[in-house]
Structure 1
């Protein structure tokens, strides 16, 4: 992270637990909290370290960017960890995100199929690259159009780093509040990145039961309208 980065993670609630059993936890991570500890004591606070302080053995299964909020899965047993990670690797986990994008979305539905590669000397940024990029697919659906922005549902089929952020930028519709990919105006339109992992479906690693989870965001109401900034 840049040396100028000032890490001030939210502390309330300390842990927002959506679901818990003997094998896994599902938590609603706030924007501004690391999924796992960074390098250095000043980046030690994270969702994983908070869980480990209370549950002992705990391993993260999926991560969200610092600025992204929403559902994160943490395994509480090693066998559960292996099984859950296999579900993600085999694309058996279904994820849906809510985002506010900057601009006018012309189509109700659509798919972005653009390969992504690391930006090399500018981590953690990615970019569209047809020569060296890895396949990346995102479905989108318009939920509500506003004057200068739109509320959309994003469904990633693949799980590349910054996939949703880069794909929306590639459409000319960056996610509002995105300090990496949005224009100055779009970035300044919100105090945080308006991207939230809202829905998650997976199998309980031992029983095979299909589990569905949802978590409300702090930037849309249940009716799907933007909360006033």
Structure 2
């Protein structure tokens, strides 16, 4: 077995069963059902001994979560990724379009991370995992955590909106030069700022716009829904589109261009930028970041 995460329990006012206590203490297995399954498989050790669901936690226990060893016969997802930055705490990779970040499918970014990144040498090292999501058809920068503490730190930064993300998209139709879109997404408050950087005439779409986007909230499909909501859907979007104005050729023109955050250990300001894909530059050859 391979150690994934370690946790030391604080003193408990009242003893609590392990399967209840362990919910949420491991970032790689946060759910009650997942913890119960791991305990039954013998993947949870308390003070060096395989734990049972009946065990009570009183405080001071060393709780370890292990991963089953991958058998030589097990199929592995081989998928090379461009690594923009890597240290013992985190990594930034370039996600290609046309692949999901995580989920039940075999071909995911998370399943490809171990072969592309080094395992952290720190005591709370975990299997590298993405701490946010990019849609299947979206390309660009993706932030990866390599330790348990880093996962909690970066998740808090996202929750408190202290990670700045910038996207670029190509939209269709006539649109304002800049603005704030505050259309609710899934009945929740949602805000996205946009700025048109360049536009070109188009026989099919009237205009194509190269747009810089700064989401102020993080709802699912927020940018795609927002741009569709103001009548300027993203070129190549097959879910949020205007009838007879779908582009099937080169996928979705939405790219996560930059990430800006404070490093969990050095407290250094980290800023990463990824140039626009070739399909963007073919339409707007005179633009550079």
TM class by shorter chain equals 0.7 to 0.9
| TM-aligned CA deviation for residue 208 of structure 1 | 1.1
Please identify the structure whose Cα radius of gyration is greater: 2
Q: Per the alignment, do residues 150 and 223 of structure 1 end up closer, same or farther by CA in structure 2, a change over 3 Å counting? A: closer
Q: Quick check: 1:81 aligned with 2:151?
A: yes
| Higher normalized contact order (CA 8 Å, seq sep 6+, divided by chain length) | 1
Aligned with 1:201: secondary structure? strand
Q: Quick check: 1:49 aligned with 2:108?
A: no
The one of 178, 187, 199 equivalent to 2:237 is 178
Q: Distance in 1 between matches of 2:225 and 2:283?
A: 27
1:174–1:186 CA contact under 8 A, matched in 2: no
Q: CA RMSD in A?
A: 2.1
Aligned with 1:110: secondary structure? strand
Corresponding residue number in structure 2 for 1:146: 200
Q: Distance in 1 between matches of 2:90 and 2:152?
A: 12
TM-score (norm. length: structure 1) = 0.80
Q: Quick check: 1:28 aligned with 2:101?
A: no
Corresponding residue number in structure 2 for 1:156: 215
Corresponding residue number in structure 2 for 1:95: 165
Q: Per the alignment, do residues 115 and 226 of structure 1 end up closer, same or farther by CA in structure 2, a change over 3 Å counting? A: farther
Q: Per the alignment, do residues 191 and 221 of structure 1 end up closer, same or farther by CA in structure 2, a change over 3 Å counting? A: closer
Q: Distance in 2 between matches of 1:46 and 1:210?
A: 29
CA deviation string 1:156-196 (max 9, x = no partner): 00000000000000110000100100125432264200000
| TM-aligned CA deviation for residue 225 of structure 1 | 3.2
Corresponding residue number in structure 1 for 2:261: 202
TM-score (norm. length: structure 2) = 0.64
Q: Distance in 1 between matches of 2:223 and 2:98?
A: 18
| TM-aligned CA deviation for residue 102 of structure 1 | 0.9
Structure 1 stretches lacking a partner, 5+ long:
1-10, 118-132
Q: Per the alignment, do residues 189 and 33 of structure 1 end up closer, same or farther by CA in structure 2, a change over 3 Å counting? A: closer
Q: Distance in 2 between matches of 1:190 and 1:25?
A: 32
1:138–1:156 CA contact under 8 A, matched in 2: yes
Q: Distance in 2 between matches of 1:27 and 1:178?
A: 24
The one of 70, 78, 83 equivalent to 1:17 is 83
Structure 2 stretches lacking a partner, 5+ long:
1-77, 120-126, 202-206
The one of 270, 273, 288 equivalent to 1:211 is 270
| TM-aligned CA deviation for residue 77 of structure 1 | 0.7
Q: Distance in 1 between matches of 2:193 and 2:161?
A: 15
Corresponding residue number in structure 2 for 1:130: none
Residues matched between the structures, number: 196
The one of 131, 135, 140 equivalent to 1:70 is 140
1:97–1:198 CA contact under 8 A, matched in 2: yes
